[in-house]
Amino acid sequence: MGGFFGVVSVNDCVEDLYYGTDYHSHLGTARGGMAVTDRNGIIIRTSHDISNSLFRSKFDGDLSKFAGATCGIGAISDMDDQPLLIGSHLGVYSLVTVGKLINIQDLAQEAFKNRHIHFSTQKTGEFNQTEVVASLIDSQDSIESGIAFAMDKIKGSCSLLLMKDGVIYAARDKYGRTPIVLGQKLTATAASMETSAFPNLDYEFVRNLGPGEIVMFTAHEITQLKKPEALNQICAFFWVYFAFPSSTFEGKNTETVRYANGAGIAADDEYASKIDSVCGVPDSGVAHAIGYSNTVHKPYMRALIKYTPTWLRSFMPQNQLSRNLIARMKLLPVDDQIANKKLLFLDDSIVRGTQFRDVARRLYERKAKEVHLRSASPPLAFPCLFLNFSRSKSTMDLVARRVINTLEGGEPSPEILKEYITAGTERYNNMVEEIRKMLGLTSLRYQTIDKLVEAIGLPKERICTFCFDGCDPTGCAKCANCMVPPPDLKSAEPKS
Ligand code: SF4
């Protein structure tokens, strides 16, 4: 994933940029960067490796050289180095992107054909996606038409901020997979991935950008350059897992959605009356667990506590071995809350299943009587195609799909797969039971797609649920996974 923040101010904007970008630290683990336009109109940029340190600790020393700047963009990224500083026939500008260009190779090859001679590559030979987006923008006659062109050509997802001549352009992904929100105070306007960046910097939320919408803003004025598209497919995982709890997207606050989601899971749980306590797997399982606990009137207890002084982030490195090590080291058991207790845990999702299998084993070693698990999201059956969602790289990473293939003796037909992803069917129940056994749990339940959508509170047509049901309304005719009719776009509410 990744996140960004951009600000134009009548005064020095550096503190706002620094803290506004820092408030996206939960969205990425690899690179952090900022670029500002100084009072002479020169863009200065800096970026650092933040894989082993906090964003703030790396940039403290850079702030003095930014002093006096009134316009800036910053990014936290899971892979690419950004912001990039681009010089082209459109002038000099700085660019940050969040998303995943699944057709990046095609776009690069097309650029080569059009005599865009080279891109810088990384050690792995991969292109920097922000640089490829810049090449698309530069292929047109203006920044405005270039951004619109890039958004149209990109498959996957891309939201961006572009800073040029002391103003910022903000463009939200064509299908709205990732959000952009606008905020203002008397002296400045800001664009942010998450609203959580606003209150402590004294910005008032102004509005969400709609899918595909492009705006340009100065310190006081926001100008719409392109109207939003009809179809919104914001990622359901923003509410389940990615987002900071205080953030609100499309009018739906993350913490509140997580409470409602936990309550929905509790509503028909036959074990709710039999357990001793409800626990959340830190961090993103906690609010779902509070919602569950409040609904069934069983105490919320912390049987596992995250060691926050050093394990600050909820995001994990790309490398699986490091992920497993971190997952183990960051959680400390509280024996008094475990021994002789029937514990029910809520976690945001079950991806490979390996992490909670280890947790369950350790809980039993510490004499837990029962360990129940509730997943705040439905079974993950399809890897994400649209975001750089590090937790599900390939289909067989997903424990649900591995179990399905084992039960079916190979890849299932689309019809059979549909049965597995439909809650309540015999095949679905068999799959859940197999996963329960693999993880060594007393009981296992998943949230259903319908109830998750209900907890979010938007029409299903306006939320991406692809990794649960393979439904991609943006490509119904072509999508091999698609098993539902196209949405009725007329029922989609207007974008705010
Ligand atoms: S496939 Fe899943 S993770 Fe990817 S955008 Fe859709 S809901 Fe989000």
Give 309 Cα–ligand 1 centroid separation in angstroms: 31
Give 27 Cα–ligand 1 centroid separation in angstroms: 15
Q: 180 pLDDT exceeds 60?
A: yes
pLDDT, greater one: 147 or 493? 147
255-458+466-491 fold: Rossmann fold (3.40.50)
Q: Name the pairing type of β-strands 463-464 and 234-235.
A: parallel
Give 467 Cα–ligand 1 centroid separation in angstroms: 6
Q: Which atom of ligand 1 is nearest to the CA of 380?
A: 2
Question: What gap in Å lies between CA 363 and CA 2, rounded to an integer?
Answer: 33
Q: What confidence tens digit (pLDDT) does each residue in 244-287 have? A: 999 999 999 999 999 999 999 999 899 999 999 999 999 889 99
Q: Which CATH number is correct for 2-229, 3.60.20.10, 2.60.260.20, 3.10.310.30, 1.10.10.10?
A: 3.60.20.10
> Would you say the C-alpha torsion 378, 380, 384, 390 has a positive or negative sign?
positive
Q: What confidence tens digit (pLDDT) does each residue in 213-250 have? A: 999 999 999 999 999 998 999 999 999 999 999 999 99
C-beta 301 within 6 A of ligand 1: no
**Tokens in use for 47?**
């970026």
DSSP conformation class of 18: H
pLDDT confidence band for 490 (50 / 70 / 90): very low
Question: What gap in Å lies between CA 151 and CA 158, rounded to an integer?
Answer: 7
C-beta 468 within 6 A of ligand 1: no
Atom 2 in ligand 1: residue holding the nearest Cα: 467
Question: What gap in Å lies between CA 421 and CA 128, rounded to an integer?
Answer: 35
C-beta 427 within 6 A of ligand 1: no
C-beta 59 within 6 A of ligand 1: no
Q: Rounded to the nearest 5°, which phi and psi values hold at 429?
A: -60, -40
- Mean pLDDT for the chain? 90
Strand partners, 244: none
Q: Rounded to the nearest 5°, which phi and psi values hold at 452?
A: -65, -45
C-beta 241 within 6 A of ligand 1: no
pLDDT, residue 414, reads 87
Give 469 Cα–ligand 1 centroid separation in angstroms: 10
Rounded to the nearest 10°, the torsion over CA 148, 154, 157, 159 is -30
C-beta 292 within 6 A of ligand 1: no
Cα angle: 449, vertex 452, 453; to 5 degrees: 85
Amino acid at 203: Y
pLDDT, residue 493, reads 41
Cα angle: 64, vertex 70, 72; to 5 degrees: 80
Q: For 402-441, give the secondary structure using H, E and C.
A: HHHHHHHCCCCCHHHHHHHCCCCCHHHHHHHHHHHHHHCC
Mean pLDDT over 99-103 rounds to 91
**Tokens in use for 82?**
């950004």
Atom 3 in ligand 1: residue holding the nearest Cα: 384
Long-range pairs, 351-357, Cβ under 8 A, ≥24: 351/380, 351/391, 351/392, 351/397, 351/398, 351/399, 352/397, 352/398, 352/399, 353/399, 353/435, 353/438, 353/439, 354/324, 355/323, 355/324, 355/327, 356/281, 356/439, 357/438, 357/439, 357/440
pLDDT confidence band for 313 (50 / 70 / 90): low
Is the bond into 347 cis (omega within 30 degrees of 0)? no
Give 461 Cα–ligand 1 centroid separation in angstroms: 14
- Residue ranges per structural domain of the chain: 2-229, 255-458+466-491
C-beta 464 within 6 A of ligand 1: yes
pTM: 0.92
pLDDT, greater one: 40 or 164? 164
DSSP conformation class of 300: B
Give 178 Cα–ligand 1 centroid separation in angstroms: 10
Give 333 Cα–ligand 1 centroid separation in angstroms: 32
